[in-house]
């Protein structure tokens, strides 16, 4: 019995009992200590992340609690005030029904009058028959300032050029030149004014379109735009009035020249009559 137990406990090497150095023989309880240390290490590795995770969760919970309780209550109060202000604007300051009514009125006005006004402004007034005046008239009604050089050449071909030096009296040539210059200047001004009027009308149409879809609070901007358009229109009107005044001043000066010439001619006739009477 003893020999059988001893044979089971004795390690074998190639079927023979091994008798090695006693210092290297395994100790009976060393493996238990090793197993216990390994278990403790594994538990420590699993316990540390749980502890850190718990600390981070507590910090985030505190932040979320502050947002929900302190900041959240303030945001809720601000939102409530904003809703009350919105309700005030929608029901009292700028009711939606009144806004839609105003927009409908503007849209109906546009549909009713814009087409007729465009017909009035774009109605042709051509009446010339011969080719030269027809060309001149088409240039005048072009409403384009780029046609100014063509207007000048057509004016000369229709109204004639200034006579040569020896073909007319010097004073007559001067008056012809002055009258032609004033006439061409005013005709060129009409082209510029017509083009400016088209710009003003286009601006007015854009403003009408904006009013048809405007929202509460946009009235000051539309009013400022209307004032700018009004100033531009006034500038065009002043330019036309200045051209008219120049034309009238030139006509008065031309009439005054004729009076001066008649006076000179009368003095010459008086001198001739006086000389004839004296000679007798």
pTM of the predicted model as reported, rounded to 2 decimal places: 0.58
Band (63; pLDDT cuts 50, 70, 90): low
Q: What is the mean pLDDT of residues 252-265?
A: 88
| pLDDT of amino acid 150 | 94
Least confident of 1-5, 169-173, 246-250: 1-5
Q: What is the mean pLDDT of residues 38-54?
A: 52
Whether the pLDDT of residue 203 is over 50: the answer is yes
Question: Of 151, 199, 181, 204, whose CA–CA distance to 253 is shortest?
Answer: 181
Percent of the chain clearing pLDDT 90 (strictly above): 19
| pLDDT of amino acid 184 | 93
Q: What is the mean pLDDT of residues 178-186?
A: 92
Q: Which two tokens stand for residue 144?
A: 């384009």
Which residues does residue 16 pair with via DSSP β-bridges, in sequence order? 13
Q: What is the mean pLDDT of residues 26-34?
A: 56
For 41, 109, 211, 220, the CA distances from 96, given in Å and listed in that order, are 73, 20, 15, 19
**Cβ partners under 8 Å of residue 218, min gap 6:** 210
More confident residue, 202 or 5: 202
| pLDDT of amino acid 98 | 80
């Amino acid at each position: 019995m003893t020999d059988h137990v001893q044979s089971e406990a004795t390690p074998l090497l190639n079927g023979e009992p091994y008798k090695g150095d006693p210092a290297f023989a395994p100790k009976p309880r060393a493996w238990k200590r090793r197993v216990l240390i390994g278990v403790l290490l594994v538990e420590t590795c699993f316990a540390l992340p749980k502890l850190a995770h718990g600390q981070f969760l507590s910090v985030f919970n505190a932040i979320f609690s502050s947002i929900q309780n302190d900041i959240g209550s303030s945001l809720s109060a601000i939102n409530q005030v904003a809703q009350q202000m919105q309700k005030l604007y929608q029901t009292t300051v700028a009711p939606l029904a009144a806004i839609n009514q105003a927009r409908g009125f503007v849209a109906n006005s546009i549909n009713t009058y814009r087409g007729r006004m465009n017909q009035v402004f774009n109605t042709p007034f051509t009446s010339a028959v011969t080719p030269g005046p027809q060309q001149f008239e088409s240039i005048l009604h072009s409403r384009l300032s780029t046609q100014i050089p063509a207007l000048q050449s057509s004016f000369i071909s229709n109204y004639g050029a200034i006579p040569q030096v020896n073909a007319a009296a010097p004073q007559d040539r001067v008056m012809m030149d002055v009258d032609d210059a004033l006439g061409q200047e005013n005709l060129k001004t009409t082209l510029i004014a017509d083009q400016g009027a088209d710009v003003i009308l286009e601006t007015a149409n854009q403003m009408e379109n904006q009013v048809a879809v405007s929202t509460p609070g946009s009235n000051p901007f539309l009013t400022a735009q209307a004032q700018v358009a009004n100033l531009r229109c006034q500038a065009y009107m002043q330019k036309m009035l200045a051209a008219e005044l120049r034309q009238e001043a030139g006509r008065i000066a031309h009439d005054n020249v004729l009076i001066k010439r008649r006076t000179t001619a009368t003095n010459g006739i008086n001198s001739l009559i006086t000389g004839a009477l004296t000679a007798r």
